[in-house]
Chains A and B, each alone.
Chain A
Amino acid sequence: MGLAYTYYPGCSVGATSVWYDRSLRAVAKALDVELHELEDWNCCGATAYMSVRELQSFCISSRNLALAEPLGRDLVTPCNACFVVLHKANRYFHDDPNVREKVNKALAAAGLHYNGTVRVRHALDPLVNDVGLDTMTEHVKRSLGGLKVAAYYGCQLVRPDTGLDSKDYPVILDQLLASLGAEPVDWAMKARCCGASLIVSREDVARDLIGDILQSAADAGAEAIATLCPMCHINLETQMTRINSERGTNFDFPVLFFTQLMGVALGVPDAELGLDKGFIDPRPVLERRVTEVPVR
């Protein structure tokens, strides 16, 4: 296929979301997509940094863009927080001459320069839009067998203005999972906020939001939740027990990165997907649903 991208993993994949990174790399390999990790990338600063140090955040984010530019490929990140910050730095650089001038002045101090030509994309985007869902289906070795999955997008994939999908009711992850044989459930909270880092600063607020998201998934009959953001993922995963005791609920969703589910369908060995590394083991649910697809 010859698809190749510059890959910006982001800091979370070095720790809590390590299996997002590994499963994404395994899936890319299975689909013949090249991911070349950006050498010596630095943290984008995420929202915590950007919100209090705007120009600094644009400038350190732009170091990554400047490093990626000569490589001539789209810059792909699996993290919503990285995506929103890198995308925003890139867009403001493009739209605002003042930002452009100051960013390049700061980069020049480090012997770098950015022309503004890099396209920043979330990893889901090229998998759906460049590889394509038909090709995806052709690569399916094990159908997800009608798995009732709640595709959870969070906020910073489709908002504020990434143009990737509907800002209120995105569907591309649902379509991707459907192309692998799953039956994504129709649910109201798919792009509602999980509270992100409020889990640190206002855990009561975040837990309330997360509880409503889990309830919505349960009401829709979901058996598992698919995520595409390390922050969403850890919030949904780690707060379930506490929410159950606070609300008297019995949520027990396996929370999986969408790339882990893709890996299952594309025949990637379980050991490369970290299916046993979640808070709730997804394998019983998967074993009930997943069916081998006859070789075409």
Chain B
Amino acid sequence: MGVCIMYAPAITEGFLAEVSSLPGGERITQCIQCGSCSGSCPTAAWMDHSPRQLFALIRCGMRDEVLASNTPWTCASCYTCYVRCPKEIKITDVMYALKRIAIKEGTAKPETKPARVMAEVFEKLVNKYGRNSERDLMQQLYLRGTGLGRLIRDMPTGMKLLRLGRMAAFGRDKVSRKGLQQMKQILDAVDKMQGL
């Protein structure tokens, strides 16, 4: 691991152990750097680090660089790497775990904001109404994540969906009051746990 010496000040002791202990990260020490993940990944070209590189960085303890990487936020959850990894590392789950740490510690880059806002808005809408609405999700995203330029560009598509009756201008679907109460009780109970 000669490369690591160059970055010695950036190394966080125990980062590999930290990632290994995350759900999905159990087998990460088994990575043989074969690159099947990067070769399979449809979005690797847009990532700061390909999945293989990210795993090399994790093993070197490059915590800050890994948690600032846009890689987990560019993952489309297609699971192609996951099913091809000869060491059966649950790569997609590792990406999710890295997202969660990056959110918690506020280390994700500004360019990943739309993806972060989307996850946040999605969660809020589901927790509040019990169901998602594509319209409400996009409205919030235009306001908070992607900017209004995007709204203007998407307008013709939105109008077409309205005209075709595939998007409602008002109202929304939600679960019953009893159902929402149940969801709240479930989520409150989860809040008291230490995650997985």
Using a CB–CB cutoff of 8 Å, the interface residues on chain A facing chain B are 11-12, 14-19, 40-43, 45-56, 59-60, 63, 84, 98-99, 102, 105-112, 155-156, 159-161, 167, 192-193, 195-198, 200-206, 209, 238, 277-279
In addition to A18-B165, A49-B123, A109-B188, 20 A-B residue pairs with Cβ atoms within 8 Å of each other are A15-B167, A16-B161, A41-B175, A45-B123, A46-B122, A52-B96, A52-B119, A54-B96, A55-B193, A63-B186, A84-B77, A109-B186, A110-B181, A110-B186, A159-B82, A160-B79, A200-B138, A201-B112, A202-B43, A203-B150
Complex A-B: 30 CB contacts under 8 Å: A15-B134, A15-B135, A15-B161, A18-B165, A18-B166, A40-B175, A41-B175, A42-B175, A47-B77, A49-B119, A49-B122, A50-B96, A51-B95, A52-B99, A55-B193, A56-B190, A59-B187, A60-B183, A102-B190, A106-B186, A110-B181, A110-B189, A155-B79, A159-B78, A160-B82, A197-B118, A198-B76, A200-B141, A202-B43, A277-B165
Residue on A nearest B115 in the bound complex, by CB: A201
The residue in A19, A40, A42 that gathers the most chain B C-beta atoms within 10 A of its C-beta is: A42
What is the minimal beta-carbon distance from A243 to any residue of chain B, in angstroms? 13
Task: Give Cα A40–Cα B174 distance, bound, in whole angstroms.
Answer: 9
Binding site secondary structure of chain B: helix
B186 touches A15 (CB 8 A): no
A49→B126 contact, CB < 8 A: yes
Interface residues in chain B, defined as those with a beta carbon under 8 Å from any beta carbon in chain A = 23, 42-43, 46, 73-74, 76-80, 82-83, 90, 92, 95-96, 99-100, 103, 112, 114-115, 118-120, 122-123, 126, 130-135, 138, 141, 145-146, 150, 157, 160-161, 164-168, 173, 175-176, 178-179, 181-183, 185-190, 193, 195-196
Candidate in A51, A99, A193 with the most chain B CB atoms within 10 angstroms: A51
Beta-carbon nearest neighbor of A98 in chain B = B196
* Chain A residues near B182 (CB-CB < 8 A): 63, 110-112
- Known A-B contacts A105-B193, A110-B186; the reply to A195 vs B76 at CB < 8 A is yes
Q: What is the CB-to-nearest-CB distance from A89 to chain B, in angstroms, rounded to a whole number?
A: 12
**Smallest CB gap from B117: residue in A:** A201
Q: In the bound complex, what is the Cα–Cα distance between A152 and B190 (angstroms)?
A: 37
B134 touches A193 (CB 8 A): no
Contacting pair A201 B179 (CB below 8 A): no
Which of B42, B150, B196 is the one whose CB lies under 8 Å from A209?
A: B42
Decide: A63 and B183 in contact? CB cutoff 8 A. Answer: yes
Q: How far is the CA of A40 from the CA of B183 in the complex (A)?
A: 11
